[in-house]
Structure 1
Amino acid sequence: MNKHVSNIVPVLRLGLVCLVLCSVLYPLAVTGIGQLFFPYHADGSLVEDENGTVIGSELIGQTFTDPALFQGRVSSIDNDAAGSGTPNYAASNPELISRTEGAIKDQQTANPDGGPVPLDLVTNSGSGLDPHISVEAAEFQVPRIAEASGIHEEELYKLIEQHRTSQAEELLGAPAVNVLLLNMDLQAMK
């Protein structure tokens, strides 16, 4: 056997073993463990309504335009999970400044009694898909929602508190609420 060919055979064998391990066995093992121990999360944390119809995911933001519902973060990709990410504009970029100023005006118009607009209501998250807003951003919207829905502000503040992230989650970041889950319970109150 040629000296060069005999050197290639072990390399090809190792490549084939790595290919099978990394592209077949490992993904199957991880998927199987996920489905066995964390099926809800492994399937995308899908949220269903009372009829069993999937209405979204806990992990992907949605756009809500009804004035009687909480609004989430601005998304430059319209919360389209097919292409997560946002433009990395510099703070001095005219397009970013214009979009942010427009979002501030929209929030001030929709929430005239809210005071200063919380930052997360006028800026993108890194993925453009963040389903959470800060507790401050949710509370900022309470007067508008109370007026539009007829639900007392006190009840809305209680609802926000019920949806607040856990203390363990708050160790890693600011207190937040999931907008989809909050709006589902808000609609159930009506």
Structure 2
Amino acid sequence: MVKIFVITYSTYGHINKVAESIVEGLKAVAGVEVGRYQIAETLSQEILTKMHAPPKPDLPIIQASDLPEADAYMFGFPTRYGTTPAQVKAFFDSTGQLWAKQALAGKPAGLFFSTASQHGGQEVTVMSSLPILAHHGIIYVPFGYANAHLFDNSEVIGGSAWGAGTIAGGDGSRQPSPKELEIAKAQGESFAKVATKLAA
């Protein structure tokens, strides 16, 4: 069995919704075991309440020490000015001991993301995350244009060759669309096939 961890940080739930389809795609490939985790929140409940953030899902909090257990990773998070949220950065900042041992080297990872607007930095968010993967020796696996919805210009659709994505809207009211979720499922399946080949 190839063990793949799907690790997310989500303030308003959009990324967690996309992650459900990612997991569905991963599980469509034989020989894959999926672990589902979330990154710890660093904001206080007082601040989250003022932000009108919903309660966090009932998922285990990922610890740096958990990462070596997996053969591959899919990370999902929203963009913050074209880069990772502080919570995600704080998590990766805790992986120094793993980096020193190159404990994650050679393992593949895929990324998926959300932004408020169409031009909110989905692709640059991935690009700004690549140095983290490179320093760990983690192999970044892009999605490519492996789903026809990525060519659809008839409506707003998140995602790109870099990975699945959703557009949340400025007030967070827009939820992942059926086409965005289909893209996410396709990415999960595509990534699982790559991960199983590398594990072999």
Q: Same fold, TM exceeding 0.5?
A: no
Q: Which has the larger radius of gyration?
A: 1
1 or 2, which has the higher strand percentage? 2
Q: Using CA pairs below 8 Å that are at least 6 residues apart, which structure has the higher relative contact order? A: 2
1 or 2, which has the higher helix percentage? 1
